[in-house]
Chain A
Amino acid sequence: VGDADHDARVGVLQPATGDLGDLGAPIQDGGALPGLQLEDEGVPYEIEIRREDTETEPEVGIERAQALVDAGFPSITGAASSGVTIAVAQDVYFPEEVVGISPASTSPDITDMPGEFLLRTCPTDALQGVAAATLAYDDRGLETASTFFLNNDYGQGLNDAFVANYQDLGGEVYEQEAFEAEQPSYDSALEVVLGDNPDLLYIVGYPDSGEQIFRDFYENFDPDDTLVMVADGMQSHDLPGDVDNPMENVIGTAPAAVGPGRETFDQLYNQEFGSSPGVFTSQAYDATAVHLLAQFRADELSGPAVSAEVREVANPGGEVVTPSTLADGLEMALDGEEIQYQGASSEIVFDDNGDLDAATFDIFEFDMDGYTVTTQFEL
């Protein structure tokens, strides 16, 4: 295994600076975490995890991915936003035949792309839209809704999926407003989406805007009037604290997380970076972990070789490897044993498109200390 100097090499391509730096930097940390963890555990291998910064610019993203490939990295954990991931896949992963696993690109468009060299550890929004709509209309009996979503491909895509399903079920959608990230205030926009008193407000976005939106919400509107639903992007333990409100009228959907891996990950992350993990950080961890296992199991450090092993190490069948047993997993992979990785974010089962096979979603609620999963939702 390995080239002359390395036993494994994974690039982590995320926006660490620029407009999405506050979101991407923690994801990058998550993606680099397996390397640090293994180093701490003293594994006797030369593992190189190289962080690259897309600077929140698609151009830089492509160029940095190319640099990783030129440097001989067969595996990349990235990119973050679907736009960048699609571009990078089309222009770098596919022609260069390296394996990219995105921890954060949820666009349904990615499903249609070949799953050989592009996979993801986050679920497609097509499914989450169904889950959210069913939960709202069927389970909670909410018949009218407005949506408020981030003006990018994630927001637009998930909003589309939700609205289509919700309307199919019979719900009425009053307003669909897109918002720009990190605006000075969302008072007026909230004024518009809540003007007609919908039963439900569906918000798609990330915590960076979410903090502000919920602040504005609690300052100007009565939480008892409206139930708010959020998606995986806002599943963050810090959110209530940052909003300084228990957010009791807010529920959310997110792809189901496997218990033990999650806790180990949270702990590792906190220990290493001194803060609690944010959105998509655990997915990034899993992406890198899968890459590492696949590389150890492959007989050479090349994209096609890794590609051939990715599903072998992740999908059901064989010994279960979790974040806490990652080092052992490497040994087993090296020996060519059958393993299945069950990660921090989910069980990680890839289908042929490279999408997660996960059809289970967590329903979570907030309180002052973060969120708790109350039920699960099977599709």
Chain B
Amino acid sequence: MKERVEDPTAQELFGFLLLLGIVVLTLDLVRLVFVGELPVSRLSSLLWNGIVDSLYIGLAAIGLSMTYSILRFANFSHGDLITVGAFGGWTVAYLIGGIGAAGLGSRLLLDADGGARAGDLGMSIVGSPLAIVVGLIAAAVFTILVALAIDRLVYKQLRDAGGITLLIASVGVALALRYIVAIIYTQDSRGVVASAPFWEPAYLPVDRINLHEMTLVLSAVALIVGVHLLLQYTKLGKSMRAMSDNRDLALVTGISTERVITATWIIGSGLAGVAGYLIVLDRSQITINLGWFLLLLIFAAVILGGIGSIYGALAGSLVIGITINLSLVWIPADLNEVAAFALMILVLIFKPDGLFGGVETA
């Protein structure tokens, strides 16, 4: 770790301004609620949407952050792994859930020919829970297999290459993946999940709970906790960090770097696949651009949090998720991403290594 020039004054100033801005906005929020311009129910639903958004961004961001720090490149094919997971997982869910209700071709191609409509098949967590759960697992497994295959074919040849070389290669992988999916499934976007079932709890303060959204929230939280435990209490976490620090030394220490890389792909792509599957469960719509369109936000979250820190990635996701939703109180919807990016830039100027510090590649 080389010394860096310290230059606290500008940083402090920025931090102060940023803090001031946040305080002012919070006060304004309170004011709006008080004068009744912003009903509490709307505020809370904006916040809740923010949290839901940040959960699936976060799920995908963990994987991206891990490959970023351990393989030392910005993986632009991560978004398309999300897409692959979504298509793979839902295909399996359709194969199981649609038995008898639709033809094999329609099920295999996820209703590409309009022959297996989600509503008719009852594709919901209540309608065919088994299919949905098996699909979830399949999404993870399938994405992992794809990611490992790509690693063997592509990234393994590039282990000693620089970050940019890998980045460009990953863009190549991204294009190939996305359009292979397009060739198979066609580019039509379509709804593949039936209407979300609701549960109306008697004893909770909320009126009704969207069970698909709840499935997403619970699975995401469980997976995040699981990954945390895995990295905290096994050697794997440490060897990953060691590898991201200094690969040659890690080799010399006896760490099988290939095995760590494999583990990284398994965790990272597994989470990405699950994220893709769950996003579709919540949104119902599936398109080949699913992951690609999300990638920018995921990158923003990872870098905002500090590359290589999974807690940073989660914190970054939370900031991004809440910003794109809560900012609607003040600005029009077509500028909410502007707000998210602007906030990200300000935070990075205040904390140049991201919220949780981190490594760098290029």
Binding site for B on A (CB under 8 A): 16-17, 19, 21-22, 25-26, 151, 177-180, 182, 184-185, 187-189, 191-192, 195, 207-208, 211-212, 215, 218-220, 238, 241-245, 274-276, 278, 368
Chain A residues near B56 (CB, 8 Å)?
Answer: 184
Q: A187-B49, A244-B119 are in contact. Are A182 and B289 (CB under 8 A)?
A: yes
The smallest beta-carbon distance between B50 and chain A, in angstroms, is 8
The smallest beta-carbon distance between A256 and chain B, in angstroms, is 25
Contact of A188 among B49, B113, B186 (CB under 8 A): B49
The smallest beta-carbon distance between A276 and chain B, in angstroms, is 6
Contact of A17 among B118, B179, B189 (CB under 8 A): B179
Q: Bound state CA distance, A182 and B210, in angstroms? A: 21
Q: Bound state CA distance, A120 and B210, in angstroms? A: 44
Q: Is the CB of A192 within 8 A of B294?
A: no
Count of interface residues, chain B, beta-carbon cutoff 8 Å? 47
Q: A177-B333, A177-B334, A211-B189 are in contact. Are A244 and B284 (CB under 8 A)?
A: yes
Q: Is the CB of A188 within 8 A of B119?
A: no
The smallest beta-carbon distance between A160 and chain B, in angstroms, is 15
Q: Bound state CA distance, A187 and B52, in angstroms? A: 11
Chain B residues near A243 (CB, 8 Å)?
Answer: 191, 195, 284
Q: A212-B285, A276-B114 are in contact. Are A187 and B45 (CB under 8 A)?
A: yes
Q: Is the CB of A22 within 8 A of B188?
A: yes
Q: Is the CB of A220 within 8 A of B112?
A: no
Q: Bound state CA distance, A17 and B292, in angstroms? A: 13
Chain A residues near B288 (CB, 8 Å)?
Answer: 21-22
Q: A177-B332, A178-B334, A185-B283 are in contact. Are A22 and B187 (CB under 8 A)?
A: yes
Q: Is the CB of B114 within 8 A of A275?
A: yes
Residue of A19, A25, A185, A368 with most partner-chain B CB within 10 A? A185
Q: Is the CB of B39 within 8 A of A17?
A: no
Contact of A274 among B113, B194, B196, B325 (CB under 8 A): B113
Q: Is the CB of A238 within 8 A of B114?
A: yes
Q: A219-B210, A276-B114 are in contact. Are A242 and B287 (CB under 8 A)?
A: no
Q: Is the CB of B328 within 8 A of A192?
A: yes
Contact of A191 among B46, B182, B196 (CB under 8 A): B46
Chain A residues near B45 (CB, 8 Å)?
Answer: 187-188, 191, 220
Which A residue sits closest to B194, measured CB to CB?
A244
Q: Bound state CA distance, A215 and B288, in angstroms? A: 19
Write the B270-313 contact mask toward A (1 if CB under 8 angstroms, else 0). 00000000010011110111000110000000000000000000
Q: Is the CB of B119 within 8 A of A189?
A: no
Contact of A244 among B114, B193, B293 (CB under 8 A): B193
Q: Is the CB of A241 within 8 A of B337?
A: no
The smallest beta-carbon distance between B187 and chain A, in angstroms, is 5
Chain A residues near B112 (CB, 8 Å)?
Answer: 274-275
Q: A22-B188, A151-B334, A192-B333 are in contact. Are A242 and B285 (CB under 8 A)?
A: yes
Q: Is the CB of B332 within 8 A of A22?
A: no
Chain A residues near B289 (CB, 8 Å)?
Answer: 19, 21-22, 182
B190 beta carbon closer than 8 Å to chain A: yes
Q: List 19 A-B contacts (CB under 8 A).
A: A22-B288, A177-B334, A178-B332, A178-B334, A180-B337, A184-B53, A185-B282, A187-B49, A188-B46, A188-B50, A188-B326, A189-B328, A189-B333, A195-B42, A208-B285, A215-B195, A218-B195, A244-B191, A245-B195
Q: Is the CB of B42 within 8 A of A191?
A: yes
The smallest beta-carbon distance between A145 and chain B, in angstroms, is 17
Q: Is the CB of A179 within 8 A of B287?
A: no
Which A residue sits closest to B210, measured CB to CB?
A219
Chain B residues near A218 (CB, 8 Å)?
Answer: 195
Q: Bound state CA distance, A21 and B289, in angstroms? A: 9
Q: Bound state CA distance, A279 and B53, in angstroms? A: 30
Chain B residues near A195 (CB, 8 Å)?
Answer: 39, 42
Q: Is the CB of A244 within 8 A of B53?
A: no
Contact of A219 among B39, B191, B196 (CB under 8 A): B196
Q: Bound state CA distance, A161 and B130, in angstroms? A: 49
Q: Bound state CA distance, A16 and B182, in angstroms? A: 11
Q: Bound state CA distance, A211 and B190, in angstroms? A: 8
